[in-house]
Amino acid sequence: MALDIPKIMATDQETAEIATKAIDIGSSINISKSEILTPRQVAAILGVTYQTIKNYIFRGRLKTYKTPGGHHRIRREDLMHLGCLEDRPSREEMADRYNELYHGYISTLRALTTALDTRDGIASGHSRRVANYTVSLTEALGISEEEQESIKLAALLHDIGKIFVMEQILSKPGRLTDQDRYAIRRHPEMGELVVNGVEMLKRTKPVIRHHHERFDGKGYPDGLSGEEIPLGARMIAIAGAFDCITSECTFQPTRDLEEAIDEIERCAGTQFDPEIVRVFLENRDEVVRGNHH
């Protein structure tokens, strides 16, 4: 397919002189100043490196004309005949391919967290539900779509560090020992380590690390308080607690929706950010419906 190559005016004196000379001597090149490009300009237009353009020239895949000083100059129209570039996907095609790859990536993460949830003492689907509740909260708070997506990923992966905690501890029905509690309290830090080397997940790191901080500073692992805690982590804290209260689990009896709402409201200002609790309560129906998304 043809490339829509924008015209770039020759700005250096040498290029203008070559164009004028080509016209004056009746050369068959017959090009105007606005059609002459340097290899670096071509590289910028096509979004490739200067060395790539040099390779095309040396291999004879890109036609050029030389100045008296031996510098390569390229006609804009000759770029149309550069075969390998005619097959470059359009922006729409590239966006479609990226979205397909991204959604496949998210599906893989969901499968991973679903498998992880089966090891925990909470009803299967905890990570997915927390992600959905959190997304509903981000929408109610008017957070940008880009930040919403980042927080959603963090919510989906908030408990990923539990892969390092023994299943016997996670699903233990009785009282936890100090050693058990220490192992569980390490999971936010371990979760941060899990995503540390994944470029697409780098923005989730602080949210995953701090989702068990408390608004009053009595949480873990770093004892952050108030707005020191990342916004996404403050939302996940509420969403996670709400799901634990209303879902079947081995370490506490399931409570109904009103009891869960009362508990969230009671802990505003201590465990939870009071402003996010206010938004949660005002939009409770939309947020609760989030687990059906």
pLDDT tens, position by position, 263-279 = 999 999 999 999 999 99
**pLDDT score of 123:** 59
Gap between the Cα atoms of 266 and 270, Å rounded = 9
**Residue 86 scores a pLDDT above 60:** no
For the chain, what percent of residues have pLDDT higher than 70?
A: 80
- 3-class DSSP assignment, residue 83: helix
Nearest Cα to Cα of residue 186 among 150, 211, 162: 162
Going 45 to 46 to 47 to 50, the CA torsion angle's sign is: negative
Which positions are catalytic? 162
User: DSSP states of 132-154 as a string?
Assistant: HHHHHHHHHTT--HHHHHHHHHH
For the chain, what percent of residues have pLDDT higher than 90?
A: 42
Each domain of the chain, given as residue ranges in start order, spans: 13-86, 101-292
- Between 23-27, 53-57, 113-117, 228-232, the lowest mean confidence (pLDDT) is in 23-27
C-alpha angle with apex 169: 165 to 174, nearest 5 degrees? 160
**pLDDT score of 274:** 98
Task: Report the 10 Å Cβ neighbour count for 16.
Answer: 14
| Strand intervals (E) in the chain | 36-37, 65-66, 72-75
Question: 48-60 in b/e burial notation, b at 16+ Cβ within 10 A?
Answer: eeeeebeebbeee
Which CATH fold topology does 101-292 show? Hypothetical protein af1432 (1.10.3210)
**pLDDT score of 250:** 57
**pLDDT score of 57:** 80
What's the whole-number average pLDDT of the chain?
80
Give 95's pLDDT tier (boundaries 50, 70, 90): confident
Q: What's the CATH number of domain 13-86, 1.10.1660.10, 3.40.47.10, 2.40.50.100, 3.50.50.60?
A: 1.10.1660.10
Cα–Cα separations (whole angstroms), residue 275 to 150, 238, 262, 282: 21, 11, 16, 11
Question: Which one-letter amino acid corresponds to residue 282?
Answer: E
